[in-house]
Amino acid sequence: GENVEQHPSTLSVQEGDSAVIKCTYSDSASNYFPWYKQELGKRPQLIIDIRSNVGEKKDQRIAVTLNKTAKHFSLHITETQPEDSAVYFCAASRNSGYALNFGKGTSLLVTP
Amino acid sequence: GAVVSQHPSRVICKSGTSVKIECRSLDFQATTMFWYRQFPKKSLMLMATSNEGSKATYEQGVEKDKFLINHASLTLSTLTVTSAHPEDSSFYICSARGRDGRHPYEQYFGPGTRLTVT
């Protein structure tokens, strides 16, 4: 089955700096890669996703890059703000109907 | 986006009793629902995949007789934790995937249910 590795497990940055979280996956058939933000005690919220037919996607301060050959994808947050502090999960899955395989999560702390 | 609700949000039960958790898609029809379990400061662990009208597919290591899943309609799936024990205490989250093709990949998560077994 799919195995998703995520690094780092914790990340502390100063407000205004960039944060990068990296994930690798094992199943070459995976073609959907979402990123979720989860605040304590709340549901995961989709913040950005990318499909295998593109290499990069950007939404304001958030961007995701995908390298299908190397089987890795990354989340980039620029100009970080304290409210970006949360746990971020990457995930991978095949087509519709397949479950998401989550990474172990990255606890991001943005200090003012 | 689509809305998924879960009920109850929090439940405390005694050891040996059973607890039912409901997951509803409020404004779309969900052909597939997923049940996850999350321990504190840990990732989401897939427990089972539930397709409407058919038996759930359980992940390895998840006891199907202990965690009963029913997906009787396109808007409702239930997870029943039978004969609960303290080690079943956890945060249970469902997610739903739609059928109309607008978002063929995206999963919409419920708010989760915090189960505490005393």
Q: What pLDDT shows up at residue B42?
A: 87
Q: What pLDDT shows up at residue A71?
A: 95
A5, A30, A43, A53: best to mutate for the B interface, most B CBs within 10 A: A43
Q: Which residues of chain B are modeled with pLDDT < 50?
A: none
A43–B93: do the CB atoms touch at under 8 Å? yes
A93–B34: do the CB atoms touch at under 8 Å? no
B46–A49: do the CB atoms touch at under 8 Å? no
Structure tokens at A45: 């919220």
Burial of A110 (0-12, 13-18, 19+ CB in 10 A): buried
**Residue owning tokens 């607890």:** B19
- A32 CB neighbours in chain B (<8 A) are 105
Residue A11's contacts (CB-CB under 8 Å, 6 or more residues apart) are A19, A21, A106, A107, A108, A109
Q: What pLDDT shows up at residue A53?
A: 82
Measured at the CA of A84, the angle between CA A110 and CA A32, to 5 degrees, comes to 125
Q: What pLDDT shows up at residue B102?
A: 61
- A41 CB neighbours in chain B (<8 A) are 91, 112, 114
Chain mean pLDDT for chain B? 90
Question: How far apart, in whole angstroms, are the C-alpha atoms of residue B111 and residue B74?
Answer: 19
Q: Are B96 and B51 in contact (CB under 8 A)?
A: no
| Pairing mode, strands B10-13 and B19-25 | unpaired
Q: Which residues of chain A are modeled with pLDDT < 70?
A: 96-97
B24 inside 8 A of chain A by CB: no
